[in-house]
Structure 1
Amino acid sequence: MNYLLLGVNILMLVCGQVLWKVGMSKVDFRISFKGIMNTLFNPYIFSGGIIYVFATVIWLYLLSKEQLSSIYPLQSLCYIVGAFAGVIIFNESLTISKILGLLLLFAGAVLVGMK
């Protein structure tokens, strides 16, 4: 059950990042009070933040049930899911070096996940 929740947590984190990426493409970000407020209250940025709040609640639950040294490295799967989200949603490129890096991340996550 905890690994299912970890999967949900990973998907929520990636969804939050995707929403933030979409939101940032729709705002003219400036380092000023008004610029920061406009960015934070952009519907995509705000929604991504809300998803992160719920993902954090799940993460806190997982920390209370599992070893940090086991579950924290598994969150590197966010990078893999995020990379594929970038390719699928934003038409980003997936180079050989990115693929090799993602495979290494996956292999590391598998090794850490083995108890």
Structure 2
Amino acid sequence: MKLFLDPFIFSGFISAFLASMCWMAAMTKFELSYAYPFMGLTFVLVFLFGVFFMGESLNIYKLLGLSFIVLGIILASKG
């Protein structure tokens, strides 16, 4: 019970709940084939969070990889 009430773990549960609510809302507004590729944006958001808040390194290979992810999302959402 003590772990459940830990602020970091509790905020994780709240975040997961809010994410599922947003996903259900997106499913009522968009087709799955349009909405699902945007799940790939989590890689971009995690990378940016790591660089700006956690001090992770930024190099050309990571930027190139992120560029491919974003290009894939654009292509998948257009199709």
The normalised TM-score by structure 1 is 0.60
Hey, what's the Cα distance between the residues in 2 that align with 1:93 and 1:42?
Answer: 30
State the match for 1:15 in structure 2: none
State the match for 1:64 in structure 2: 28
Hey, what's the Cα distance between the residues in 1 that align with 2:25 and 2:63?
Answer: 32
Does 1:55 find its partner at 2:19?
yes
Q: Residue 92 of structure 1: CA displacement?
A: 0.8
State the match for 1:20 in structure 2: none
Q: Deviations over 1:47-91 (max 9, x none)?
A: 122022012111012112211111111111111011010011100
State the match for 1:113 in structure 2: 77
State the match for 1:85 in structure 2: 49
Q: Which runs of 4+ in 1 moved over 4 A?
A: none
Q: Residue 106 of structure 1: CA displacement?
A: 0.6
- Consecutive unaligned residues in structure 2, runs of 5 or more: none
Q: Residue 46 of structure 1: CA displacement?
A: 1.0
Matches within 5 A, 1:1-115: 38=3, 40-114=4-78
The normalised TM-score by structure 2 is 0.84
- Consecutive unaligned residues in structure 1, runs of 5 or more: 1-33
Q: Residue 110 of structure 1: CA displacement?
A: 1.3
